[in-house]
Structure 1
Amino acid sequence: MVQQARAARTRQLLMRAAAQTFAEEGFVAASLSTISSRAGVSSGALHFHFESKQVLARAVEETAARAISRITRQAEASDVSLLQRLVDATHALMHSLEADVVVRAGFELAGTTPRRSEALDLRGQWQHWVEQLLVAAAAKGELADGIGPEEACAAVLAATVGFEVLGSTDPRWVARSTLRHYWEFMLPRLAPQDTLPALVPCGTAPAPAPACPGAGAVSVCPHPQETD
């Protein structure tokens, strides 16, 4: 049992070291010697757990994909409107990108050029969920008149994927305040006017920072600890 626990810990150390290296250097430039050194284990231990850099990258991507699935499942289970679920999920995703190097690295690997043939499409996974949610929102009358799910999806994806890419070098792009400002700007264009007071652009889900003071006008959603 002790040996199994030690092996699991070594595997986690290696995967996080790989994620850190992939996030900083990209897949092509990352070396197994750098990863094993960063994890504090021998090259032999690395090869025992992961036979190649491709296998390591796949493990990182699969972990990041599971994190995205958890975020979207939690949003789907919440007792709020569909647009609020979208807002909450984007906040959860940006927080994961900011706080979890494995999620960051998963997206970094998704954008690797040349693209690995077996790479998971994390952006495609996110896109599919956003598309499905906005189609359902349109069917329920949660989108403003004249706004279709396709154009709404394009606007949300362009922003969230853009924040993800820019956030890889500047964490301000995935900060809670950045996303709050985006939703303060976007929600009045996406949602019917009579639903705006119930929408919370800084998200309704628990966050590391103090919770938002509650639902209210879209333009008023301060977090006292944030500086803009």
Structure 2
Amino acid sequence: MFLRRLLPLSRRLFSSNSSNDPASIIAELNKEMESVFGEPPSSTHPNSIDNNVMAAQDSQSVSPKIVENDYGLTHVGSKGEAQMVDVSPKENTKRVAVATCKVILGRKVFDLVSANQMAKGNVLSVAKIAGINGAKQTSNLIPLCHNIKLTHVRVDLSLNRNDCSVEIEGEAASTGKTGVEMEAMTAVSVAGLTVYDMCKAASKDIQITDVRLEHKSGGKSGDWSREE
């Protein structure tokens, strides 16, 4: 039907004299097409405006706290910047944390450490003191940790012949407003690094593994222990 209606018009327009305005010809063609197909659709879908408005409203209705800090990270400020947590409103409670790590030596180095034949001296004794010092220096090493007063630090090292490793356990305690998990993990990490330093001349294959928190107590979150 469109061709039957459009063809007479096109013949009429293009067979007319050349003085006709091209714009007028195009306008008449558009009218003829509209009479067949109806008015052309709007370039913007009617629902798109509503959708855009709703999307804008939704974005404004989302809580700023959720957008800026979805997981409640205490060291992240309202604008995403790093911050030191203000613990002044908290109550003083007894805090204890225990952490562990392992240093895999290999058979050759393990035998040297067991026989106390390393050139630098007694590996386990030096690493023990280093771990205690590390716990006391945690706030200097970890930027956003609080400088807390430790009441106790324990670092124990033992040889495990089954996998030729040194197993390290560290404990930190304090009575204050913030936990001592970082102090315990720093203690075992520094002790492990010291074992490596004492033994690196004998082997470069030594590995420090499994630095992790095992237990913590005190504070608002209460007690927590790792489940094996």
TM-score (norm 1): 0.28
Kindly indicate which of the two structures has a greater share of residues assigned to helix: 1
Kindly indicate which of the two structures has a greater share of residues assigned to strand: 2
TM-score (norm 2): 0.28
- Structure with the larger RCO, 1 or 2 (CA within 8 Å, 6+ apart): 2
